[in-house]
């Protein structure tokens, strides 16, 4: 149990909290991940690619298991497996909309490898648990640096291909006729999702990846029909719930990912509920 | 301006095939600036394939094709395109005007959020196609006819000389078909744009079209409506009896074509 209690002086509380190295690291990594997940998640939802994000995080699990087996930092296993898995998926099927079968096929194969790695490594249970549900409070400063580098690469990549990515998400055939390569955009997009899920797994884990990669963007899309604004709202929501989760978990002995997943789910319900009410009153007035 | 003296599209002994299977061949035609051309023919005859050649997405298997005296190339800014299939479902909650803006900026690399002219251009284009009131609506909430107007604006916003429309009338009722055809006619005429429009039913196009490209039976024919749409011509094109009927209001029905289309797909499979 944590002996420190919440004092209602948030500035004071934060000061105290960030005085602990592990909390500072968690806030740093959590902030980077939330920004990246909010942005990439927007495209994931726009391109109807939640299944790809789901599959890539699970593939990352297999990669991390392999890395642990070889005595390497799991984040490298995550990055290598999700990236190669993403590229294979993009190459197998050009059209993002009809990629389900290819994703499922690659997912099954990679998870098969994961099972092998786990069976080969005896002391795996706790490692597996933190991969599945996230272990942000234990993140090392080396991993914070890796997360920062990965985050900056994604930001740079998204800002370079923003228009083509958006165009191909909305009107694939016209974008192709305009000279954009759907193969390359598909590969780049899957790489973005791969790297984003790899770093997000550290915060929410493989099983809760949607809490940061899908739900904030889904809420944002209900709140704004302008892509850039939507992306910023998605980032804001991801940041809000991540900070909230970290803050609360400092006082409560429950997992951060639980607080994040619950907070974002409540926001989602709230948005839908409020929209139902406003739509209802609008139609009534007519 | 002398309209047809300037060639927009020229095809000489043109052929198209997929994996060695010839779709149609020996097509010879030229289409002038400002012409409104209907592209007709049964399903699977190769109409969309002709568009793919013009867009530079596919190479001819034989012969020559040129647009404004240049071979087709992908990303040609002089060609606007409305494809047959779209990704938009009713969950697509992005403003219609964003798609039109991407008609200008969609191919640009780099990240510039403030508008540099494309917002104003997109707004004016939406106005020109009578869709100003749809600008802020989400794409997923638009009806078939409204969406076609947005696609039209998206295709026209980059100021093309040639407009390719693949079955834009497919999911519309007869009244909406007539309205959209008139709209396309008006915007292309006022900008002196050549329009090729793939359609299944010729009737909504009869009041506006200049010529017809007829793709069938492995061949491509071109001519004025009265030259193409008669029993004699189509019978010789298909090499099997086809009847063209006209009712008192001038509506035209071509009988025997779809059945022939079926026979042909069977023959290919054998
Ligand atoms: N990518 C492709 N690979 C192989 N065959 C194709 C391809 N695209 C179209 N075809 C075939 O070419 C023929 C013409 O297709 P298409 O041009 O789409 O016909 P239309 O638009 O007139 O209905 C059809 O038999 C179709 O099956
Ligand atoms: Mg077609």
> For position B269, what pLDDT does the model report?
37
Distance CA A44, CA B202 (A): 41
| Ligand 1, CB cutoff 6 Å, lining residues | B 18, 23, 41, 43-49
What distances in angstroms separate CA A2 from CA A253, A282, B141, B243, one per listed residue?
7, 49, 51, 88
Instruction: Note the pLDDT tens digit of each residue in B236-261.
Output: 888 888 888 888 888 888 887 665 55
How many Cβ atoms are within 10 Å of A259's Cβ, its own excluded?
A: 20
Question: What element of type H or E holds B34?
Answer: none
Q: What are the φ/ψ torsions at residue B43 (nearest 5 degrees)? A: -55, 135
> For position A96, what pLDDT does the model report?
59
Asked if A222 and B93 come within 8 Å (Cβ–Cβ), the reply is yes
> For position B5, what pLDDT does the model report?
46
Q: Are A43 and A190 in contact (CB under 8 A)?
A: no
Instruction: Note the pLDDT tens digit of each residue in B100-128.
Output: 999 999 988 887 667 778 899 999 999 99
Instruction: Note the pLDDT tens digit of each residue in A142-162.
Output: 999 999 999 999 999 999 999
Instruction: Note the pLDDT tens digit of each residue in A40-54.
Output: 999 999 999 999 899
Q: Which ligand is nearest to the CA of B43?
A: 1
Which residues, 6+ apart, have CB-to-CB distance to B164 below 8 Å?
B51, B54, B55, B79, B80, B81, B82, B196
The domain spans of chain A are 10-208
Q: Using the predicted structure, report yes or no on whether residue A166 has a pLDDT greater than 60.
A: yes
Q: Using the predicted structure, report yes or no on whether residue B231 has a pLDDT greater than 50.
A: yes
**What does the radius of gyration of chain B's CA atoms come to, in whole angstroms?**
19
Tell me which chain B residues have a C-beta less than 8 angstroms from the C-beta of A162.
110-111
Tell me which chain B residues have a C-beta less than 8 angstroms from the C-beta of A165.
none
Tell me which chain B residues have a C-beta less than 8 angstroms from the C-beta of A227.
94, 98
pTM of the model: 0.90
Q: Using the predicted structure, report yes or no on whether residue A3 has a pLDDT greater than 70.
A: no
Closest ligand 1 atom to residue B215 Cα is 22
Provide the ipTM. Answer: 0.88
Lookup: tokens for B159 = 């100021």
The domain spans of chain B are 88-159
Residue spans of beta strands (DSSP E) within chain B = 7-18, 21-32, 36-40, 62-67, 79-82, 162-166, 194-198, 211-216, 219-223, 243-246, 252-255
Mind telling me how many Å the CA of A147 is from chain B's nearest CA? 23
Q: Which ligand is nearest to the CA of B47?
A: 1
User: Residue B220, SS3?
Assistant: strand
Mean pLDDT of chain A: 89
Distance CA A54, CA A49 (A): 9
Q: Using the predicted structure, report yes or no on whether residue B84 has a pLDDT greater than 60.
A: yes
Q: Using the predicted structure, report yes or no on whether residue A102 has a pLDDT greater than 90.
A: no
Highest mean pLDDT among A26-30, A105-109, A127-131: A26-30
CATH, domain range A10-208: 1.10.3470.10
- Cα–ligand 1 centroid distance for B73 (angstroms): 20
Give the one of A161, A173, A179 whose C-beta lies nearest to B75's C-beta. A179
């Amino acid at each position: 149990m944590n002996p420190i209690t919440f004092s209602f002086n948030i500035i004071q509380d934060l000061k105290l909290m960030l005085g602990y190295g592990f909390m500072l690291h968690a806030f740093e990594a959590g902030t980077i991940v939330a920004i990246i997940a909010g942005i990439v998640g927007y495209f994931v939802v726009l391109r109807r690619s939640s299944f790809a994000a789901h599959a890539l995080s699970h593939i990352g699990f297999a990669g991390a298991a392999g890395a642990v087996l070889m005595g390497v930092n799991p984040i490298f296993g995550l990055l290598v497996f999700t990236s190669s898995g993403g590229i294979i998926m993009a190459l197998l099927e050009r059209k993002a909309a009809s990629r389900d079968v290819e994703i499922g096929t690659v997912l099954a194969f990679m998870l098969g490898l994961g099972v092998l790695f786990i069976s080969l490594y005896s002391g795996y249970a706790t490692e597996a648990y933190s991969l599945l549900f996230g272990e942000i409070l234990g993140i090392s400063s080396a991993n914070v640096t890796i997360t920062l580098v990965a985050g900056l690469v994604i930001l740079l990549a998204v800002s370079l291909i923003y228009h083509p990515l958006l165009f191909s998400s909305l009107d694939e055939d016209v974008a192709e006729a305009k000279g954009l390569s759907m193969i390359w955009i598909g590969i780049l997009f899957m790489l973005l999702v791969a790297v984003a899920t790899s770093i997000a797994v550290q915060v929410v884990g493989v099983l809760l990846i949607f809490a940061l990669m899908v739900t904030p963007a889904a809420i944002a899309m209900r709140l704004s029909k302008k892509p850039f604004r939507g992306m910023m709202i998605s980032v804001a929501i991801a940041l809000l719930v991540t900070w909230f989760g970290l803050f609360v978990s400092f006082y409560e002995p429950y997992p951060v990912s639980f607080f994040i997943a619950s907070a974002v789910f409540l926001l989602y319900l709230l948005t839908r509920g409020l929209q139902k009410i406003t739509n209802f009153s609008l139609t009534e007035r007519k | 301006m002398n309209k047809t003296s300037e060639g927009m599209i020229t095809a000489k002994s043109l052929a198209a095939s997929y994996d060695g299977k010839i779709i149609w061949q020996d097509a010879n035609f030229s289409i002038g600036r400002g012409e409104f051309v209907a592209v007709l023919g049964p399903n699977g005859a190769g109409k969309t394939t002709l568009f793919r050649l013009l867009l530079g997405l596919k190479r001819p298997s034989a012969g020559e094709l040129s647009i404004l005296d240049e071979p087709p190339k992908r990303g040609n800014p002089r060609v606007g395109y409305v494809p047959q299939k779209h990704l938009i479902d009713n969950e697509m909650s992005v403003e219609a005007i964003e798609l039109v803006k991407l008609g200008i900026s969609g191919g640009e690399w780099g990240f510039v959020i403030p508008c540099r002219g494309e917002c104003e251009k997109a707004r004016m284009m939406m106005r020109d196609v009578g869709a100003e009131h749809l600008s802020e609506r989400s794409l997923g909430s638009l009806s078939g006819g409204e969406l076609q107007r947005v696609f039209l604006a998206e295709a026209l916003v980059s100021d093309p000389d040639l407009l390719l429309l693949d079955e834009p009338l497919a999911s519309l009722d007869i009244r909406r078909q007539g309205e959209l055809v008139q709209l396309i006619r008006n915007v292309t005429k006022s900008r002196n744009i050549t329009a090729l429009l793939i359609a299944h039913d010729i009737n909504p196009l009869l009041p506006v079209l200049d010529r017809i490209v007829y793709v069938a039976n492995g061949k491509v024919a071109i001519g004025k409506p009265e030259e193409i749409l008669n029993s004699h011509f189509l019978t010789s094109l298909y090499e099997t009896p086809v009847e063209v009927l006209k009712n008192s209001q001038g509506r035209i029905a071509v009988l025997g074509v779809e059945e022939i289309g079926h026979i042909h797909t069977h023959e290919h499979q054998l």
